[in-house]
Structure 1
Amino acid sequence: MRMMMAGSMAQTMDMAAMQNLMEAASACEQACTMCSNSMMEMDGMARCAAMCSNCADMSNTMMRMMMRPAGMNATVMMASLEACKAMAQACMEECSSHADMSDTCRMCAMACSELVDACDAMMASMR
């Protein structure tokens, strides 16, 4: 995938950071979707389920934006990275509060944490 992207990406983008972000966003989307589905069945977990669904959607959107280099705008990309990071951080905090009672929440919190780190790395590479 890196080779495909390298041919069409602006020289200013850090390809390793982009690849890491796409992988972290994909993993987060999957973990959040699984967590949301699990939490929907549990009493009192509607907030967690909704937050995970939102984070899954945001993760997917971020990943897809990274796959469209021709449409990249630095200002929009930074705002999107900040929003993705904020959503992942909020979801991580929510799921961390349930991590002791649910392996799904624990894995979701870990995936969200990795996405936060990947967003930070991508933003740092763009500054």
Structure 2
Amino acid sequence: MTETHATNPPGAPVFPPGRYGRRREPGRRRPLVPVVLAVLLLAALGLGAVRLYTQYGDPAYDAQVITYTDITDSQVVIDFRVTVPAGGSAVCLLRARSSDSAEVGHEEVTVTARPGERQVTARHRLATSERPFIGEVLRCRAPA
């Protein structure tokens, strides 16, 4: 003899009692614990990444071109300012381009700040293969 529940819709299978364990009530399950654990894990990973970046990440090496002067057929003089860590140094890549935007010269220059200072103002004469139109600082980085 099978047991029939009043909550079973007509045509639904009826299982013998005790044979398959307790049946769950139909309804929406909310996975609250896994979601909270995932959010906590992401927050911990983000906090760890920020802490490691502030501890070991590269400091900002910001460069600005002040002027480019003395333009001839074979050179340009570039005056630039670099922000470095206090008393530190930087290696900057300078580039000269012609009026048609072709690169006509480039060179890496090392600049060093005085002890306790964060900015370095430098002047460099960049040799070119033809007449330059502009002199620029592409990037600065920590010395190797």
TM-score by shorter chain over 0.5: no
- Higher helix residue share: 1
TM-score normalised over the length of structure 1: 0.24
TM-score normalised over the length of structure 2: 0.22
Larger C-alpha radius of gyration, 1 or 2? 2
- Higher strand residue share: 2
